[in-house]
Homo-oligomer: A and B are copies of this chain.
Amino acid sequence: MGEKGSAATLSRRDLLRMIGVTAGSAAMYQAMSSLGYAAESPYRGPVRLEGAPKGASVLILGAGIAGMVAAYELRNAGYKVQVLEYNHRPGGRNWSLYGGDTYTELGGHTQHCRFDQGLYLNPGPWRIPYHHQGILSYCQRLGVKLEPFVQVNYNAYLHDSQAFGGKPQRLRAVKADYQGHVAELLSKSIQQSKLDGAVTREDQEKLLASLRTWGALDKHYAYAKGEASSNRRGFHKDPGGGLTARPVPSEPMGLADLLTAKAWLGLAAGDNYEMQTALFQPVGGMGQIGAAFGRELKGLIRYNARVTAIEQDEHGVSVRYEDTARPGAALTTRADWCLCTIPLSILGQLPINVGPAMAAAIAAVPYNASVKTGLQFKRRFWEQDEQIYGGISYTDLPINNIGYPNSDYFSQGKGVLLGTYAGGLSALELTSLTPEQRIEQALAYGSQIHPQYRKEFDCGISVAWHRVPFTQGCAGRWTEESRAEHYDNLCAIDGRIALAGEHASYIPAWQEGAVTSALDAIGRLHQRAVAQGAKA
C-alpha cells in the first residue's frame, strides 16, 4: 500500500500512462473514454516509434509545422533525416512578420516591415485552442512560452455598416439584448401554453426559471430597461462610489433593430469549438514555434531549396531542387522514404510519380483565399479611448475583423492591430490590389469603426495568401464530396511517398491538422520501413 505504482494507489493518470505504454494508443483512448475523460485532440501524447531500421533515411519536403514535427520525431527514432525548405526560415505558414523583415509577394511587390520592436503580424495562424494538444505539447517540449489569446471581448464591437447609422455596437449590448429577447419570447410561448406539446409542464416551469436568469429578464419575464438588463449590457451611467454614485440603466435595443443589423453574426464566434476559451498564442508571435523547431533541427534543414521534381523507384526517392539564391543549377538528394508536406497548390505543379489515386487527390483540393493586414498605430487608442483590451471586433465590411493585440495591455507605446482578416470573395478582391492599396483599404474601412485610425496610423504590412510564393493560397478547401472521393487516397502512402500537412487532415487551416497529420503519416511510414527493413 502507498508504494508508487501499486494498484491501490494508482492514479488515473498512472493507469492511463501504463495502458498507453503497454497497449498502444487505441487502448489508451478507449480507457480515457471509459474513465470519463472526454475525447479531446486525436493527439495521444508523444509518439513512440521504436526500432527504426539501421541506416534508414527519410527526406522531408517542407519545414513547416508538419515537416518539422516529422523531422523531430523521425530523428529521435533513429532515422537519418533531411529537410528541404523553400524559404530562408523555418515555419512555413507558422510565421510572424517583425520590424526589419522584408517580404516579396508574387507579382513582385516587396514590403519592408517597420513595426516597433516586439510588435508583429501573424499572417497565418494566430490562435491555438486548448484542445489542440499536439501543437501545445510541442510548444512545451520546445520551450515556447504561451499566453492567453482573447477571442471574445464583450467591449469590442459588432458593426453593420447598414444598421444603427453605421455606428458600431458593443458586443456586450448586442449579446445581452439578443439573449434577452430570445428568452422573453420563449417565456411568452411557455406562459401562453404554446409549448405544451413539446415540453412537459414540469420542464416548462424549470425552463421558465432558467430563462429568467439566463436572459436577465425582470420579474414579469420581460427583457426591459432596468438593473437586470443593464447588469449585462452595461449602464448608461455605471454605478460608482459616494454621492454621485447612483447607476443609470441603459436602454436595450429593440428586437427589430437587432435583427436588421445582422449583429448576431459575430455573436456565436466564441462558442465555436475551435474558438472557445482557453485559447493561447506564443509570447512574441506565432512564428516563435517555427523558430524553436528550427533551432532544435539545426543542421537538418536546408533552406532556400526549391523542389522541382520528386521521383520514386523501388529503393528510394530522389528529389531535384534548386538553390533559390542560384536558380537554374539543379541539385539532387535521395533517401529511402519521402514525407512531402508541400501544399497541394504547389505540389500539383510539380512532376511526381505517384499512382493515379494520389495524383487525382492532389489535383482535387483548391486553396482558400485569405488576406491579413497589420496596422501599426502610434498609440493603443482602442485601449486608451475605448477600453478594448484584446479580442476581436466584427464588421460586415470587407476587412471582416479587427483584431486587438492580446499582449502588452496598458502599455504606452505603439501597437499593431490586425486591420483585415478577410476570406472568400473579399479576400480575392483584396488579393488583386497592391499591398499599399490593401493597407489603404484597411484604413478606410477601419475608420468607420475607429475614427482615430487616420490620425494615429504609423505603418502597415499586408499578406494576401494567393500571392505567397510558398503556398499560393491559404489552406486546403475540402467539400463533403471531395473528402469522400479523395481524402483517403491523399493520405494513403504511395510506394515510398507519404503526404502530410493541414491539407491531409480534418482540421484544415489549423496547425493541429499539420501536427496530427504528420504523426499519423510517420507512424505508417515507420511501420512500412520496419517491414521493409525486416525483409531486407
Interface residues of A (CB under 8 A from B): 9, 11-13, 29, 36-43, 130-131, 133, 136, 139-140, 146, 148, 150, 152-155, 167, 170, 172, 175-176, 178-179, 182-183, 185-186, 188-189, 192, 194-195, 198-200, 203, 206-207, 210-211, 213-214, 216, 230-248, 250, 255-256, 259-260, 262, 264-265, 267-268, 271-273, 276-278, 280, 381, 384-391, 406, 409-410, 451-452, 455, 488, 491-492, 500, 502, 504-507, 512-521, 523-524
Contacts and interface: CB of A to CB of B under 8 A. Distances in A.
A199 B185 contact: yes
Contact of A242 (B211, B243, B259, B517): B517
29 contacts: A9-B455, A38-B250, A39-B235, A40-B234, A42-B244, A148-B409, A150-B277, A178-B210, A185-B198, A185-B199, A186-B186, A189-B195, A206-B260, A214-B267, A240-B516, A241-B502, A241-B507, A241-B520, A241-B521, A242-B504, A242-B516, A242-B524, A243-B488, A245-B505, A245-B520, A246-B506, A277-B391, A278-B391, A280-B409
Contact of A390 (B148, B182, B518): B148
A242 B410 CA distance: 43
A241 B500 contact: yes
A12 B464 CA distance: 33
Contacts of A391: 277-278
A-B pairs with lowest CB-CB distance, top 8: A242-B520, A241-B517, A42-B240, A241-B505, A239-B506, A241-B516, A154-B276, A240-B516
B240 A207 contact: no
A131 to B, nearest CB: 6
A234 B517 contact: no
Contacts of A243: 488, 491-492, 520, 524
Given A242-B520, A387-B40, A185 B188 contact: no
Given A13-B452, A39-B238, A242-B520, 5 more contacts: A39-B234, A146-B410, A200-B256, A207-B255, A239-B506
A517 B246 CA distance: 12
Given A155-B278, A245-B516, A238 B13 contact: no
B146 A409 contact: yes
Given A207-B255, A259-B206, A265-B213, A500 B185 contact: no
Contacts of A238: 39-42, 131
B189 A273 contact: no
Given A150-B148, A245-B42, A492-B243, A131 B387 contact: yes
Contacts of A488: 243
A231 B406 CA distance: 25
A189 B185 contact: yes
Nearest to A184: B198
Contacts of A189: 185-186, 189, 194-195
Given A176-B271, A210-B264, A259-B206, A12 B385 contact: yes
Contacts of A182: 182-183, 186, 211
